[in-house]
Structure formats: C-alpha cells, structure tokens
Amino acid sequence: MKKKIILVAAAVLALSILAACGKAGDKKPAGGNNHAGHGAISGQENAEKPAGNEKKEAGEMDHGGGHGGHGADAKPAAENLQASFAFPAGAAKANEETELTIQVKDKDGKPVNKYDVNHEKLLHLIIVNHDLSFFNHIHPEFKGDGTFTVNTSFPAGGEYKVFADFIPTGGANTTLSEWVKVEGKEGKHAAIAADVNLVKEVDGKEIELSMSAAKPKEDVTLTFNIRDAKTKKGINNLQPYLGAVGHVVILSEDANQYLHVHPIDEKATGPDAKFATSFPQSGTFKIWGQFQHNGEVFTVPFVVNVR
C-alpha cells in the first residue's frame, strides 16, 4: 500500500511540473518580439516624419559600390539616433562666416562619441538651399561630447537643409537632417527643371553624364565621362578625392530623398567614373558629382527626370 501511495504521489508531482513548464513556455520573454515590431513601427514613423525633422528620413540612404553590392540596398535606418543643429553665436546671417554645431545623441539622450572613418572623414555635412541651386559639402571637426563644429557661410537668407552623414561605431551609415533658418535677403527661387543636355563645362573640363536607366527602383549606373574642354581628350589622371575617384550626392527636388553614392571602382582615374545606385521614386532629382584633378576639387551638377 505504501508503495502505491508513493507511486501515485510521484505521478501527481510529475504532472504538476509538466503543467508548470507548459505555462512558463507560453510566456514571451521581455522584448522577445522587439525586432519584428520595431521595424514595422519605425517604418511608419519615418514615413510620417515631415521634411526637416532631424530623424533619418525614409528616403535617406547611402549607396556605395565600394562597400560591396554596388549600393543597390540601403543600410538600416538609425531610428535610435538624433541630431541637433545650432548656431552658438546666435542667428546665422547671409554672407557672414558662422559656426555651425551638430550634436549627435542616442535614444536615451546620451552623446554618441565613437564613429567610424568613412572616406577619410568622421562626418560629411551636405548643405543645400530650397531650390538646390546652392550646394556645399564640408567636414566638421569632432570636439567630443557627441559634437562636431565647422565654420561656414550662406550666400543668401532663407532656409537651408543640412544633412549630417556618418557611421556610428557598430552601427549603419546614418543621415540626419534638418532645415535651418538664415537671416538676410533671400535670393530668387528658380524652378528645378531637368537638363536637356547632360553635358556641362566646369573649370576647363567637359563632363558628360550618361545613365543606364532612368526608372524608379531599378539599378542604374551613372557614368561621368571627364575630358578636356578644349582638346576633348579624356582626362585619365584624376586624383583621389576623400579616398576615391569621386563622390556623388543625389537629392529629390523637395530634398526629402537623399542618396550618397560612392564609385563602383574607387581606384579609377578616368576618363570614366562609374557609380551604381537606384532612384527610390519617380520625380526630378539633382545630381552633384565631385572629383579632383591637379589638386583642385570640382563639382558638376545635373538635373534628371526619373519616370
């Protein structure tokens, strides 16, 4: 009898343990579903962010053939980072040099102090005005406490969009942007229209742009053919600019879509410099190519329609 009682008690105890384990297995660990849910929520937040918010916008991406994959895919957005752009001396004024600071913080408000060198710099700062007629690509100096500073000037009053492009150590390539106000007389806003002829002359050089395609969400190769404007001979001794044959920045006409594109062959020396990317949507886009020859950096702009 005692043996039967012991066996029954053991069976009851075993069933109790199994039931408890089953209940414990039904519980999801804290944050166990964060990855799937976080991506969906972040995508919605980015889509709803108005132009000028400092969070990384849905259309902001880095395309780079030199980083593997020819830039067909954007790296994940850094929703957990934020940047503040400020003029410490007060309001910025047209045609006056002023200090611009950029402070990067994480989701908890703590300064981000570790960055990877990206094409010889910790941070690339792109500045454009409303009609994209002004373009500036400069490199602020890191001062610690998550803060970068640079002295710059603006050619006229009005609003300018500033893009901070960087890679936090351990993270993805990130672009944070914001519209800033500059005091002074505003220039005339010209309509942004596609170029009829994709040949430009800059600093004694003739640059022709050709595109393998001009449709949204399709892989496209941008080829810049650079030649002497007088002799028409191809220039084959381009010098590295920030560690590569050149750099390309592309913006949609409303400045909401930002692409920073690196060359397919970073060690190319001309006359052709090729870049691979894809346009995220239909519309009008402005393209700036930057190259270096005989110690001088030159910038050539083109405007194209993507349909």
Write down the pLDDT at residue 27: 34
pTM of the model: 0.77
For residue range 111-148, list pLDDT tens digits in order.
999 999 999 999 999 999 999 999 999 999 999 999 99
For the ranges 12-26, 53-67, 160-174, 262-276, the lowest mean pLDDT is seen at 12-26
Residues in the chain: 307
The answer on pLDDT for 3 being more than 80 is no
Write down the pLDDT at residue 62: 52
* Token representation of residue 303: 């405007």
Please give the DSSP secondary-structure letter assigned to residue 77. P
Mean pLDDT over 46-59 rounds to 35
Q: How far apart are CA 89 and CA 98, in angstroms?
A: 8
Write down the pLDDT at residue 61: 53
Write down the pLDDT at residue 29: 31
The answer on pLDDT for 306 being more than 80 is yes
The answer on pLDDT for 265 being more than 50 is yes
**pLDDT-based confidence at residue 60 (cuts at 50, 70, 90):** low
Closest CA to 260 of 106, 87, 63: 63
| Phi, psi for 269 (deg, rounded to 5) | -125, 10
CA angle 64, 161, 146 (to 5 degrees): 75
The answer on pLDDT for 17 being more than 90 is no
Phi-psi region of 201 (alpha: psi -120 to 50; beta: other; left: phi over 0): beta
Per-residue burial over 26-37, b if 16 or more Cβ lie within 10 Å, else e, is eeeeeeeeeeee
Q: Which amino acid is at 41?
A: I
Write down the pLDDT at residue 55: 40
For residue range 63-118, list pLDDT tens digits in order.
444 333 333 333 334 678 999 999 999 999 999 999 999 999 999 999 999 999 99
Those residues whose C-beta lies under 8 Å from the C-beta of residue 257, and which sit 6 or more positions away, are 57, 59, 60, 250, 251, 280, 281, 283, 285
As to burial, measured by CB atoms within 10 angstroms (0-12 exposed, 13-18 middle, 19+ buried), residue 163 is buried
Q: Which domains does the chain have, with CATH numbers?
A: 53-183 (2.60.40.1930), 199-306 (2.60.40.1930)
Element counts in the chain: helices (H) and strands (E): 2, 18
